[in-house]
Structure 1
Amino acid sequence: MPRRNRPSSSRASTSLRQLLDNLDNDQRRSQDLLVSLVFALRNFTNLHRFLELVPVVVSRLVGVDGALIVPFQPDGRVWRDQLQAVPVEPSQDLFRCLIGFQPGESAGFGTDDDQVLALDRLIQCCLPKAGLFATSVVVRGRCRGRLYVFDLSSRIVWTDAHRRHAQLVADLAGVAIENDQMFRDARRHERVDRQLSTGAEIQAQLLPDHCPIIKGVDLAARCRPAFQVGGDYYDFIPMQPELIGRRRECGRWALVMGDVMGKGIAAGLLMTMLRGMLRAEVLSGLPPDRILHDLNQLAQEDLAQSRRFVTLFYSDFDPLTYRLRYANAAHNPPLLWCYKRKSISRLDAAGLLIGLQPEANYSLSEIYLAPGDVLLYYTDGVTEASSLTGDRFGEARLIRALRRICRSGGRSQVILDTLFERLDQFVGANRQPEDDASMVVLKVPEAIALSNMLV
């Protein structure tokens, strides 16, 4: 008996060794397939090429005839351009069914469990005799597709190993889909950033890059947008642009400060449009109230369509007489430091927002500046700036800061820089401003001889 059992034991040992060898080979083959898919995930930047590999790898891992991946777009619709399946020829009927599947065209399809179940039934109807296993492609808790593994010839038994392999491939497909979405978002943001940078460059070129030389006054100006492109606007416009050199310095100038309601690109575009209209109006030589009246009529249609309005303070200055005429379209009234009286007053005049109604009238006022006087034009981004506690900088705080600075003397640039320093201290270091902030400082130096002025 023992002798008869030896051949049988030997055959059993050989079969066991072969089985173990086959298992080892299967494991190595599975590992190689998964490694190749991970390598493709790391190196492919084309989602379509990666998804082509998914059905091939998963069908070989599980040892079945075919596989199908149905990705969903970010809005949940079936991503028809990215459908992939093997074998290719028999899968054409599957593709036709999926392309004609109307519910898959609806946004939110992939997030509706009932709709996804209807998709599973559709696939099963297209493969009536096949053994079918399905799993979801999940990314950050959202279903971004379905992976189907099927055998056309028989109803195979799905082992835990088969399910793990299929799910692992589905997870890798989810990573690829997410990477593609992030890559698309990054490229879109890059395009937007480039457009914003271009817009910011254009706007920076439209705002004066330096203050002009105007006889008898010292100027300083700065615009600090909350975003790359802002809606604040200031300008110095010669009313006789044909003059050059000293004659231009002694000629009349328009000094303007405005603000388009809103922020960002839309406000910047409207500001650019307004600038062109205003510069054309200045050439007419009309007084400030007529300039604002005509500008309001010209800009009415464009502003009405955008549902935005513009505040604008317009003034013209004559260096020979030191007379400043002005009109106001509901802008923050500039602050005037009177050197002689050591007090601050507001330059205001009645007038509606630009673009509010077609027929709007504006009041005209005028003053004569004296040596030592300081005029501060500003936008509401200065007074509306908030601190960490939520308090507003406010006009009263701006008046107190301007009074202290003017009493200390100094040129217009020193006054401007100190005001922005006070504003930054109030808002807090490294905080993103909520609105554009612009200021223009005009000062009549104390050294100007009274005999040269008309008072």
Structure 2
Amino acid sequence: MGSLPPHRSTPPAQQPADPFTATVSLRQLLASLTREQRRNQELLTSLAFGLRSFTNLGRFLELVPLLTARLVEAEAALLVPLHADGRLWRQHIHGHPQGPVADVVHQLAQLPDESLLDQGDEEARSAFLDALVQRQLSSASLFATTVSARAHIRGRLYVVSSRSPIRWSEVHRRHVQLVADLTGVAIETDTLLEDQRQHERVDRQLTIGAEIQAQLLPDHCPVIAGIELAARCRPAFQVGGDYYDFIPTRPQALGKRREQGRWAIVMGDVMGKGVPAGLLMTLMRGMLRAEVLSGHPPDRILHDLNQLAQEDLAHSHRFVTLFYSDYDPLTRRLRYANAAHNPPLLWRESRRRLDRLDSPGLLIGLQPEVDFGSDSLQLQPGDVILYYTDGVTEAPGLTGDRFDEPRLQAAFRSACQSGADAQGILDDLFARLDRYVGANRRLEDDASMVVLRVPGGVTLPSLAG
């Protein structure tokens, strides 16, 4: 009897997959992805809202590592911002959670500025920071990206994981870079806001300075017997270095006696523009007003003023041009001395001729001992004097050519021949200057003019009254 062939077991038939179970799993996966996307979207929206509404950069930067760590589900995140000059912005170094990165935050806060600045360019500084953070977190894996503002590196954003190496999707990397970019925008926005605040502070100071200077310049021309006066200063900036003044040599006199007393008529210009020139102009005004009370002749007054101002002007590396004159209504005699200022123009009505008033002298503040020349003349009815600063003759026109002295002389001659009073002559000269420079164009330098005119038919005043 033959033996039975050995028994072979038949494998059980494979059970078909349950379609209901597969559908549930897929739905759960999709729901999980949807929840993650919604969470990430909410986190990014929160950061964007903070960027739109933030008023405190520090609060915003505190959120950056917190949202970054949650966004990519990392163990920790670290933000290391930099100043514009490359120094660590220590008060804004933040990590979340603090435990895993507390040591590296402490080390970065203690890092001397020179250690980072000595690295050279921005890329080298970033590499230096990466190496330092990696050494402090040697057991962790890092992913780092740059925080940029206007094409300059303003920091590094690190994501820390205990897994080695870090494996994230491209979406995670894009999310981290998006946070870094928003951080760069926040830093740049804060910089622009601070610049704006600084400009506003400077504008307020300039406005105050302009108001003070406007109060120092005569707000109206004094009444001086036998002459008409008109004056105007147009600064290139809010505060300027041009100076003119009318100073009574007998300030204690009142009424007619004050009008008939000797008056100093001064035109000056501090080299330069803006606040420094304005401050020096104010200083010179005080010194000169004190000197006028001495009663000395013009050349002596400029000599003494030069010695008084020598030290202050030497420290500022600036100089002053000044034309000093005094007028005596009782004799119609004008005495004058010049410290290298533009010589005033004199229109002689009787001769229908234009002259220049000048005498030898150097700049105020150039050297300690200077001798100034002086001269005098008697004014006649119809005579006109124009004091001016070089901001008038140096004003550029639309073609780039300067207004220059010959053009000013022609304009002055024409205005005097028209028979206008002092104010009319001044208005005509500024109107011609404005037309030459161009409408709504700012002058490059302060421009000032003073017109002194002896009306026709004037007689010498009497001391009576």
Partner of residue 394, structure 2: 384
Residues of 2 paired with 1:234 and 1:2: CA distance? Answer: 114
Kindly provide the amino acid, as one letter, of the partner of residue 4 in structure 1.
Q
Partner of residue 236, structure 1: 246
The CA deviation at 1:431 is 1.1
Cα distance change of structure 1 residues 352 and 163 upon mapping to structure 2, 3 Å threshold: same
If the length of structure 2 is used for normalisation, what is the TM-score? 0.94
Match of 1:20 among 14, 30, 49: 30
The CA deviation at 1:58 is 0.7
- When the two structures are aligned, how many residues end up with a matched partner? 452
If the length of structure 1 is used for normalisation, what is the TM-score? 0.96
* Mapping 1:52-67, distance limit 5 Å: 52-67=62-77
Indicate the SS of the match to 1:178. Answer: helix
Cα distance change of structure 1 residues 125 and 107 upon mapping to structure 2, 3 Å threshold: closer
Cα distance change of structure 1 residues 451 and 13 upon mapping to structure 2, 3 Å threshold: closer
Indicate the SS of the match to 1:143. Answer: strand
Match of 2:177 among 154, 167, 172: 167
Cα distance change of structure 1 residues 347 and 360 upon mapping to structure 2, 3 Å threshold: same
Contact 2:143–2:166 under 8 Å retained in 1? no
Kindly provide the amino acid, as one letter, of the partner of residue 266 in structure 1.
P
Partner of residue 4, structure 1: 15
Residues of 2 paired with 1:317 and 1:449: CA distance? Answer: 15
In structure 1, stretches of 5+ residues that fail to align are none
Partner of residue 282, structure 1: 292
Kindly provide the amino acid, as one letter, of the partner of residue 15 in structure 2.
R
In structure 2, stretches of 5+ residues that fail to align are 1-11
Contact 2:299–2:373 under 8 Å retained in 1? yes
Kindly provide the amino acid, as one letter, of the partner of residue 62 in structure 1.
V
Residues of 2 paired with 1:244 and 1:450: CA distance? Answer: 19
The CA deviation at 1:320 is 0.7
The CA deviation at 1:105 is 5.9
Deviations 1:82-118 (A, max 9, x none): 1011111332201122123335665586942122111
Indicate the SS of the match to 2:443. Answer: coil
Partner of residue 7, structure 2: none
- CA RMSD across the alignment: 1.8
Q: Is residue 365 of structure 1 aligned with residue 367 of structure 2?
A: no
Partner of residue 223, structure 1: 233
Deviations 1:106-136 (A, max 9, x none): 5586942122111101111111121210000
Indicate the SS of the match to 1:89. Answer: helix
Q: Is residue 353 of structure 1 aligned with residue 363 of structure 2?
A: yes
Q: Is residue 132 of structure 1 aligned with residue 142 of structure 2?
A: yes
Kindly provide the amino acid, as one letter, of the partner of residue 212 in structure 2.
I
Cα distance change of structure 1 residues 152 and 435 upon mapping to structure 2, 3 Å threshold: same
Cα distance change of structure 1 residues 423 and 134 upon mapping to structure 2, 3 Å threshold: same
The CA deviation at 1:3 is 9.8
The CA deviation at 1:2 is 10
Cα distance change of structure 1 residues 319 and 361 upon mapping to structure 2, 3 Å threshold: same
The CA deviation at 1:289 is 0.2
Deviations 1:295-352 (A, max 9, x none): 0000000001101000000000000100000000000000000000001000000001
Of all paired residues, the percent bearing the same amino acid is: 62
Match of 2:81 among 50, 68, 71: 71
Indicate the SS of the match to 2:98. Answer: coil
Residues of 1 paired with 2:218 and 2:426: CA distance? Answer: 16
Partner of residue 46, structure 1: 56
The CA deviation at 1:38 is 0.9
* Mapping 1:88-167, distance limit 5 Å: 88-102=98-112, 107=117, 111-152=121-162, 154-167=164-177
Contact 2:384–2:452 under 8 Å retained in 1? yes
Contact 1:76–1:110 under 8 Å retained in 2? no
Residues of 1 paired with 2:115 and 2:94: CA distance? Answer: 18
Deviations 1:12-51 (A, max 9, x none): 2211111011000000000000011111111221111000
Residues of 1 paired with 2:23 and 2:45: CA distance? Answer: 32
The structure with the largest alpha-carbon Rg is 2
Bigger CA drift: 60-69 or 147-156? 147-156
Residues of 2 paired with 1:238 and 1:432: CA distance? Answer: 34
* Mapping 1:263-342, distance limit 5 Å: 263-342=273-352
